[in-house]
Structure 1
Amino acid sequence: MTFRNSLWLIPMILPGAVHADAMADAQALIATHTEIPVFVPPGEPFDARSCMADKSVFSIPVSMTIPFAVALEDGMARAAAEVGFEYTVWETQGGMDSYIQGVDHAVTQGYDLIDLAGGINPVWIGPQLLQAKESGAVITTTHLYDETQEQADFVDASARVPFSSVGEILAAWAYVETEGAPNVLIIGSDDVLPTGPFVESIQDQLSTYCPECEQQYLNVPLAEWGTRIQSGVQSALLANPDINYILPIYDSMSQFVTPALRIAGVEVPIASFNGTPFVLDMVREGTVKMDIGESLGWAGYAAVDAQMRQLCGLEVPEDLGIPLLIFDSANVETAGIPANFDDGYGDAHIAGYRALWMLD
């Protein structure tokens, strides 16, 4: 079991250091993410169909064995079909060789833009992407960097995700749910690029709300979720039986947290992020308390908007701009029974992007 910042955080409290309106602030932040989102244009309208008439995009997902990646690619493919330009998904199963082969194929076929989607760090295949740029291709990423992170030098544009903002919501939720006395176990994976700012955001926000409250971080590499999360949670609960909230920052981790709670014979609420359908089903069943969702259909349209703006010489938004929606027992059934990646968020983005791209 590996811990980062695993000492209990009990800093000295100076006079006036406690945020007097912490509870009100936390409740207000939560409230802003409980309503069906409205569409906010990420830029000026443009004639997308005319601009993209002779352009093509080649997308390399992290792995088409991951439902999240499949749903994100489906959203991007639907958006490209609306506009009517060539959009190709490289059917990778993951792995460096597959990513490199994808870049080589895109260069050989003369694609205008190569997008790394759903978590591929471009540094992993930097030499190949540099060669692609030399051949004239534009390089972008989708759903990789946090809003606070700088993209690699050879990347032209990044459709960032507000992981740091998600961290603030998770901290607010734990603070409110524990009536201002959180004793929190945060679980993350330091080998996943946005984890650093994501976890730091939770830690900083909790410390702002409650400097004297306890928090602990458990780092489990992505490849070891199935073997180390359960044992790590069990060890943490044994060392500190007063833990009253668990925040696995990527919601698929939750499936390995719940067995640890059953074995320990305790009920500790769980809140997380991503809106993965099986976790939303866990919310409906009461196994998980809350999940912050993101519509991957909306994310797909937003990503294609950023790609087109890059190819059309327009200003590209700094992030995907997709809304974050809290799912709990009050609204989780709107995500479908069983849940899916798109229901529950409304469909304002479809008409919104069609108008933005001058398709209507």
Structure 2
Amino acid sequence: MRKSKLLIAAPMLSAVLLLAGCGSDSEDTDSGAATAAATEEATEETTEDAAEVNTDKADAIVAAATAVIDAAKLIPSTSDLGEPIDISSLEGETIYSIPIDAKLEFYQVGEVAMAAIAEDAGINFVTFPSDGSPVSFQQGFAQAIAQGASAIVLNGPLPETLAPQIKDANDAGIPVIPLHLSDLGEPLLEGIPYEAFAPFNEGARLATLYSVMDLAGEPVKALVLEASGTGPSAGMVTSIKDTLASEAPEGSEVVTLLNSEVPNWSTEIQPAVQSALLANPEINAVIPIYDSMALFAIPGIEQAAADRNIGVYSFNGTPAVMDLIPGGIMRADAAENPDWVAYVNLDTTFRAMLGAPATPGSANPLRLIDASNVAETGTPSESGKGFGDEYPAAYRTLWGLG
């Protein structure tokens, strides 16, 4: 209907102008008023039509985001875990793990899970107590080589920064396997034939899409927290930016990007978030690339913007973070199951120890956790809950232990 009114307005305006040329001053005044009224009506109609188009477009974008989120809330399948292997010959061997920081809960949970799985298979598993510093990583390598480890796994440290240590391990006949460092879309690192991948970029996309859904058509003005010293950081930030550019309402963008390295999270993040929120009242979403960052970001939001509707959307599935979801600020976690991650990590490690072919694109699944399904992870949340109970038996069968 509005389009037809706009088509009529133009000839009406031409007729008014023609009559104005033949009339008196009074008629000129009347015709001028009519012209102004017609122009104003046309402008209002155009503005309303544009607003309707923008609203319809935003609604469609939110609906598309919601469809992706709803699918991501489902329990993942165990239908394709890789080719079967027999790990019975590995009994009694030792795996050394070097986490990026042995004090961080996500890594603690993962290390405990890997140790339990290895023990079930009769394999020793040692976690080196690293503190996030390069020196501690180097010390971990030295100890593993001295103790005659059968494999060294890097649970966070970047292999690019440890080339001499990796060479020493390889020279000693010890394979080095990066765990949970690279996105599943990336190629294998040169000289490292085995790697357990992770869906980092998809996790960042899901967290961002949840903010799109949550803000219901409002442009997302995001404060993003990254950790550039970790391998996935750059790709995850790019994924967030790409999602805002292509799958979010017009005007959505990263307005502030804060970088904090892992050892500094507990001291840097809260004051940095507070300062950013005070400096920019536009910010309406906080997206930490790792959910452990949220433990320090949320107090910053509470201090600086308690009266603003700012949600936190992240990735990982740390139990302590998922426990915050009912509180309201932590809205969603594109969650990994550290226990399932542990199975993927050890499946890749066992294949390296056996010299068996690697599983292409081996990676753990994600499940989107929010207020609607967080109870499935336990009260309080527990590692391994909320992802079904089929995967442990599926991996045991895959390894010949079932």
Fold shared by both chains (TM-score > 0.5): yes
Partner of 1:120: 157
What pairs up with 1:1-360 in 2 under 5 angstroms? 22-50=61-89, 52-53=90-91, 55-117=93-155, 119-181=156-218, 182-209=220-247, 210-222=249-261, 223-264=263-304, 265=306, 266-360=308-402
CA contact (8 A) 1:139 1:154 kept: no
- The aligned amino acid for 2:182 is Y
Partners of 1:172 and 1:60 in 2: CA distance:
33
Partners of 1:273 and 1:83 in 2: CA distance:
30
**Relative to structure 1, is the Cα distance of residues 77 and 41 closer, same or farther in structure 2, using a 3 angstrom cutoff?**
farther
Gaps of 5+ in 2: 1-56
Partners of 1:129 and 1:296 in 2: CA distance:
25
CA contact (8 A) 1:26 1:176 kept: yes
TM-score (ref. length: structure 2): 0.78
CA contact (8 A) 1:162 1:319 kept: no
After TM superposition, give the deviation of residue 33 of structure 1 in Å: 1.3
- The aligned amino acid for 2:260 is P
The structure with more radius of gyration:
2
Q: Which deviates more, 141-150 or 18-27?
A: 18-27
CA contact (8 A) 1:147 1:319 kept: yes
- The aligned amino acid for 1:230 is Q
- The aligned amino acid for 1:359 is L
Partners of 2:116 and 2:172 in 1: CA distance:
28
CA contact (8 A) 1:138 1:156 kept: no
Larger relative contact order (C-alpha < 8 A, sep ≥ 6)?
Answer: 1
- The aligned amino acid for 2:243 is Q
Q: Which deviates more, 209-218 or 184-193?
A: 209-218
Partners of 2:269 and 2:299 in 1: CA distance:
10
Partners of 1:38 and 1:149 in 2: CA distance:
23
Partner of 1:10: none
Partners of 1:256 and 1:56 in 2: CA distance:
36
- The aligned amino acid for 2:207 is L
- The aligned amino acid for 2:178 is T
Partners of 2:135 and 2:269 in 1: CA distance:
29
Partners of 1:257 and 1:38 in 2: CA distance:
33
**Relative to structure 1, is the Cα distance of residues 227 and 147 closer, same or farther in structure 2, using a 3 angstrom cutoff?**
same
CA contact (8 A) 1:218 1:232 kept: no
CA contact (8 A) 1:139 1:156 kept: no
- The aligned amino acid for 1:128 is Q
Secondary structure in 1 matching 2:315: strand
Q: Would you tell me which structure has more helix in proportion to its own residues?
A: 2
CA contact (8 A) 1:277 1:341 kept: yes
Deviations 1:8-53 (A, max 9, x none): xxxxxxxxxx899533432222122111222133211122224x24
Gaps of 5+ in 1: 1-17
**Relative to structure 1, is the Cα distance of residues 219 and 243 closer, same or farther in structure 2, using a 3 angstrom cutoff?**
closer
Q: Which deviates more, 102-111 or 282-291?
A: 102-111
Partners of 1:349 and 1:283 in 2: CA distance:
26
Secondary structure in 1 matching 2:195: strand
Secondary structure in 1 matching 2:324: helix
CA contact (8 A) 2:184 2:362 kept: no
